[in-house]
Structure 1
Amino acid sequence: MNFSEVFKLSNQLSKFSPNGKFLASCIQYRLVVRDVSTLQVLQLYTCLDQIQHLEWSADSLFILCAMYKRGLVQIWSLEQPEWHCKIDEGSAGLVASCWSPDGRHILNTTEFHLRITVWSLCTKSVSYIKYPKACQQESLASFKAQFFTNSYPDPLQVLRSGISFTKDGRYMALAERRDCKDYISLFVCSDWQLLRHFDTDTQDLAGIEWAPNGCVLAAWDSCLEYKILLYSLDGRLLSTYCAYEWSLGIKNIAWSPSSQFLAIGSYDEKVRILNHVTWKMITEFGHTVTINNPKIVVYKEMEKSQTLEMENLPFPPTKAAASSLFNTESKYEVASSPVSLQTLKPVADRPNPKIGIGILAFSPDNCFLATRNDNIPNAVWIWDVQKLKLFVVLEHLSAVRSFQWDPQQARLAVCTGRSQVYLWSPAGCLSVQVPAEGDFQILSLCWHRSGNSMALLSKDQLCLCYLENAEIK
């Protein structure tokens, strides 16, 4: 495993282009585009204000930069660097911006979710979609709380739960709120014409998401009502599922890449798997504090201090040598059964309690499901989807910030806000120290489409990690 040099970064804004050739990153109001293979700067763009959101078009020809404080969006072209486009939403304000699947339309959501404005780069025409619903209330509250700071949540968190595109880019589903009632509208993305419009049997629609095959749309209610509804492309209700009736219901969902399974993460610390034939539950995965089954491997992160010999310390000490005095490395060790995992007691009198399944994701081959139970925050649970049972648990020294599957194979990368990156595959797991000067705290990561590298992002720095083909496959 090799690492690149460290580059400056703002707000963890760095993304690979969809075609895998470029890497875009933001430094305050500057947008830097690098060649992935050489990391040479290809283009440097200057925006009108600090960038709060960055997004590539699907064909990797354009880059969108959103500046929410100013209500501005700027679009830059890689083929024609002298060309650019500016969209000013004016007094309507701006809370979210994203590309349409064709990469030629931009969807801007105004403040208070009064409307969505669809801007065309080709015809310069403007369309308006009324009554969009602000589904992700937690993200919206976070956005408002941070509006006058330099730290912003992912703006697509506000949009993504209320807008969902089919994978082929043909259709868009939009959650709406009219006359105190929830609706869903289906649009044809080629001309933004309304295809279907129907109401939903929800008290407060929390999110919608298409299956990867684009045949089924999942819609779920707020956390106070456990209900998920499944609709066909023509708006027919295929099934309704409810696991229990007491408060705090669905927290997260994930479709398997094959669309055969729908995983529902709940506040009761369980994941329920529905099948695509009957839409009934085929199993549920519980996240217990103690693991008694000796057949389940539990990898536990252990820390080992690495200090320099004092007589070998140069004088005056360099930054690298000084930081090495306090440098710590870690490794995984197999824990003996039974294993008790570290728990976090949720604060009952505060909103959004740290309890339930906060993150879940299927591996690209449909064989594994990775989950994190928010009140056991240091652990990643990996389930065998074919055998419908727990396969392995990874317990770390710090709370898991995020994890992401390699796009090409069943290989999981994990970060915990420390200077290590963790990798797991069915062949084993490892912990690798980032050899950066100072304390490089990895807060998020993203894979390159090839699976041969990934970007590691700290608060104000970026580093690329290159993996050899033989590493823990």
Structure 2
Amino acid sequence: MDFTEIYRQSSQLVAFSPGAHFILNAVADRLVARQHPHPDSSTHPPSHTPISHVAWSPDSEYILAASAKKGVVDVFKLRDDAWSARIEAGAEGLLNAIWAPDGRSVLCFSEWGLRVTVWSLTTASANYLQFPLHPDRAYAFRSDARYFILAERHKSKDTLGVYDTANAYNLVRHFPLPTSNLANLALSPTGDHLAVWEGILQYKLYILSLAGDIRASFSPHPEPAFGIRSAAWHPNGLFLAVGGWDDKIYILDSLTWSPAVTFELSSRIPSGATLWREPPNWLEATQGRGFLSYDKLPGPQSLSLLRVDPTKPHPKTGAVQLEWNITGSLLLVRYENVPTAVHIYEFPSPSSSASSATTPFNPRLRCVLSHTRAVQAAQWNPVRRGSLAMCCGAGCMYTWSDEWVGEGEGGDGGRMWRKEFEAREMKWAPDGKGVVLMDKDRFCCAFEVEEGEEGG
């Protein structure tokens, strides 16, 4: 991989366009669009107040820049500098702004949970959805973009609204939810099932249909117990991974909605898994620039777990990230009480497990990636099924891939170094050929080159 120059950015507001041809970033009150990976750029007029949100329309034709403090959303057209639009929230305020899948409508979430306003750029009209429960979560578009799902609060009760995006966001269904204090929801990739779960004080999850029927409930602990931190649907919707503060990952299957397998964090890495450890003093060995493989330590090995006081609020334990790769053959888990490690669990493919009634379903811990510093961000490549990138707040990028398998031994790993740069956040380009790395107020891009591709 190769690196671009370092550019300025604010609040880690950097985003690739959906086609990966452009990259957008905010610098205080200005928007800058660059053609990736070339340095040519265009700057859009300042909004005279710090930008809090930026986003590309799904077709990469328009750019959204919102200022929550000022309560305005500015929209620009990439290929027409003379065109622009402004949405003013008014007295209701503004907390969040997102694109609808049609790329011609903007959803604005007001303060105090008053409403979501759907603004159309083509008709200059607005539709209103009342009382959203959260401004930054608990909503989703179905994969075909036909319906918008929104968790709401009506008469002090959790409810769900289903809106028809093809019919001016008219209400299709509205039904009460079984939760008393909904934390979040996750819509299955097939759009058939909806997972909703309670807040931090209750470990309860429910599976519903979009008609409002409760299909199942899941609560592995007697009350009281800390709740669910994250949940992630398998790409084909057959499984749901659920993690809380108990250092366990429950894999629910879509037939019984009970755990098909449970993973539990342990300081001991079993003999069937591999520990990939960051080599000591490798930065000095490469003189601050270069590529080096992880040290491979076959199991059994051990990890150091942080001691946690369960009596204190928000204990630093449990799964802070659950993420499936594009095919669902690998599950990435980051546990907060092992901040320097990334656990990768391997799942048999649906085709192989269904090929024979006697074929065992036996997911397992494949490997653990151990680093000297806490992992700040980790993300699967959106195109290549076994390619993973990570950053740890240092001037380097970490990668792991099962494409580097040698005689069935597992994966391999490496790191890329960037001088005078501390990567705290990262995002893959949609085509999987580049990564944007961000520190506090700067960013650069790492992208594939024709030669030496094995170095990435």
Please report the TM-score for the alignment, with normalisation by the length of structure 1: 0.86
* TM-aligned CA deviation for residue 347 of structure 1: 5.2
Say yes or no: does 1:384 pair with 2:346.
Answer: yes
Deviations 1:186-207 (A, max 9, x none): 1111210111111111121111
Q: CA deviation at 1:385?
A: 1.5
Aligned equivalent of 2:296: 334
Partner of 2:371: 396
Equivalent residue in structure 2 for 1:281, among 229, 244, 259: 259
| Contact kept? 2:100, 2:107, Cα under 8 Å | yes
Worse-matched range after superposition: 422-431 or 166-175: 422-431
Unaligned runs of 5+ residues in structure 2 are 349-361, 405-410
C-alpha deviation, 1:359, in angstroms: 0.2
For 1:364, give the aligned amino acid. I
Question: Shift in Å at residue 339 of structure 1?
Answer: 2.3
The residue aligned with 2:73 is 73
Shift in Å, 1:242? 1.7
The alpha carbon displacement at 1:90 in A equals 2.2
Paired residue type of 2:317: I
**What's 2:407 paired with?**
none
Contact 1:305 1:328 in 2 (8 A): no
| Distance across 2 between alignment mates of 1:125 and 1:266 | 42
Equivalent residue for 1:146?
none
The one of 220, 231, 234 equivalent to 2:211 is 234
Q: Retained in 2: the 8 A contact 1:342–1:378?
A: no
Distance 1:51 1:225 in 2: 36
Q: Shift in Å at residue 89 of structure 1?
A: 1.3
1:268 and 2:268 are equivalent in the alignment: no
Q: Secondary structure at the match of 1:91?
A: helix
Q: Which runs of 5+ in 1 are unaligned?
A: 135-157, 309-323
In the alignment, which of 432, 441, 444 is matched to residue 415 of structure 2?
432
Post-superposition CA distance 1:29-79 (Å, at most 9, x none) = 111111114231145442231111111111111111111111111111113
The aligned amino acid for 1:289 is S
Whole-angstrom CA distance in 2 between matches of 1:94 and 1:4: 35
Aligned counterpart in structure 2 of residue 178 of structure 1, from 135, 154, 165 = 154
Q: Residue 40 and residue 123 in structure 1: after superposition, are their counterparts in 2 closer, same or farther (change >3 A)?
A: same
1:464 Cα offset (Å): 0.9
Q: Aligned to 1:215, which of 172, 187, 192?
A: 192
Label 1:197 to 1:447 Cα distance change in 2 as closer, same or farther (>3 A).
Answer: same
Q: Which letter maps to 1:280?
A: S
1:49-448 alignment runs, 5 A limit:
49-134=49-134, 158-160=135-137, 162-190=138-166, 191-246=168-223, 247-291=225-269, 293-304=270-281, 331-335=293-297, 337-346=299-308, 348=310, 350-386=312-348, 387-409=362-384, 410-426=386-402, 427=404, 428-436=411-419, 438=420, 440-448=421-429
Q: Distance in 2 between matches of 1:238 and 1:224?
A: 23
Note the alpha carbon deviations across 1:313-364, whole angstroms, 9 max, x for none: xxxxxxxxxxx98899975212354422132234556543211111010010
Q: Is the 8 A contact 1:115 1:128 kept in 2?
A: yes
For 1:43 and 1:30, locate their aligned partners in 2 and report how far apart those are by CA, in whole Å: 7
Letter of the 2:124 counterpart: K
Indicate the SS of the match to 1:422.
strand
SS class of match (2:127): strand
CA distance in 1, matches of 2:309, 2:105: 43
Query: Partner of 1:452 in structure 2?
Result: 433
Could you say which residue in structure 2 is the equivalent of 1:313? Answer: none
Contact 1:425/1:472 (8 A) holds in 2: no
> What amino acid sits opposite 2:64 in the alignment?
L
- CA shift at 1:468, angstroms? 4.7
Task: From the superposition, tell whether residues 13 and 282 of structure 1 become closer, same or farther in structure 2 (CA, over 3 Å).
Answer: same
Q: Please tell me whether the aligned partners of residues 37 and 445 of structure 2 are also in contact (alpha carbons under 8 angstroms).
A: no
SS at 1:186 equivalent: strand
Distance change >3 Å, CA 441–CA 347, structure 1 → 2:
farther
Distance 1:370 1:472, change over 3 A: farther
Identity of aligned residues (%): 32
Aligned amino acid, residue 251 of structure 2:
I
Measure, in 2, the Cα distance between the counterparts of 1:444 and 1:411: 17
* TM-superposed deviation, 1:245: 2.2
Q: Is the 8 A contact 1:420 1:434 kept in 2?
A: yes
> Whole-Å Cα distance in 2 between the matches of residues 275 and 431 of structure 1?
34
Greater mean deviation of Cα atoms: 276-285 or 370-379: 276-285
User: Offset of 1:25 from its aligned partner?
Assistant: 0.9
The alpha carbon displacement at 1:127 in A equals 1.8
Counterpart-to-counterpart distance in 2, 1:237 and 1:472: 49
Label 1:351 to 1:105 Cα distance change in 2 as closer, same or farther (>3 A).
farther
Q: Which amino acid aligns with 1:225?
A: Q
Number of corresponding residues: 431
State the SS of the aligned residue for 1:471.
helix
1:196 counterpart letter in structure 2: R
User: SS where residue 144 of structure 2 aligns?
Assistant: coil
In 2: Cα distance, 1:46 partner to 1:253 partner? 39
Name 1:150's counterpart in structure 2. none
